[in-house]
Amino acid sequence: MQEAINAQINAEMWSAYLYLAMSMDASSHGLRGVANWFKKQYEEEMEHAFKFVGYLQSQLCRVELAPIAEFPTCWDGCPLKMFENALAHEKKVTGMINNLCAIAAEEKDYATGIFLQWYVTEQIEEEANCQDAIDALKMIGEDKAAFFMYDSQLAAR
């Protein structure tokens, strides 16, 4: 269980870098709201990672930090591509969290099972947020005024 949680800490940090890269790409294309949204998402992912770090420490387990694997850095300033990529990634993360739950159940590690429930709920929100953005961006299409309004909304996250 300890090994699997350490791997998840790495995965959460990888997610953080992915979203920070999206924020940088959006920013370099003048998409201030999208850049802000992904910067906030980067911060959330680091919180997810540190929640696991705190949990391992509270259980007197060792935290092992591994190198962060390479991540994509270019979406050509296309928010739809970013959110589609983010949704696909979050679905993958949901699978990883479910896998951790399965290990906890198999090892009869009830404390970790309860701790993981927070992540199970969080993943529902993570996927829904990405899907909402995809739906909105598809509706907006090429309408620049509508996109400007939506970008301002994302800037307020």
Closest CA to 44 of 61, 20, 63: 20
Q: Which of 48, 55, 100, 116 forms a contact with ligand OFO (CB under 6 A)?
A: 48
Among 83, 126, 147, 151, binds ligand OFO (CB under 6 A): 126
Residue pair 32/89 in contact by the 8 Å Cβ criterion: no
Q: Give CA–CA dist 113/106, Å, rounded.
A: 10
Tell the residue number behind the tokens 């850049």, with chain if given: 35
Site for ligand OFO in 49-88 (CB under 6 A): none
75 secondary structure, DSSP code: -
For position 133 contacting ligand OFO by CB under 6 A, the verdict is no
**Binding residue for ligand OFO, selected from 21, 36, 45, 137, defined by CB under 6 A:** 45
Q: Is 12 in the site for ligand OFO (CB under 6 A)?
A: yes
Among 9, 13, 15, 140, binds ligand OFO (CB under 6 A): 15
- Closest-approach residue to ligand OFO (CB): 15
Dihedral of the alpha carbons of 108, 110, 112, 117, in degrees to the nearest 10 = 120
Pick between residue 30 and residue 95 the one whose CB is nearest to ligand OFO.
95
Q: Which of 90, 100, 137, 150 binds ligand OFO (CB under 6 A)?
A: 90
Name the DSSP letter for residue 72.
-
Q: Is 141 left (phi over 0), alpha (psi -120 to 50) or beta?
A: left
Q: Which residue, 38 or 147, is less far from ligand OFO as judged by CB?
A: 38
Contact footprint for ligand OFO (CB under 6 A):
12, 15, 45, 48, 90, 93, 126
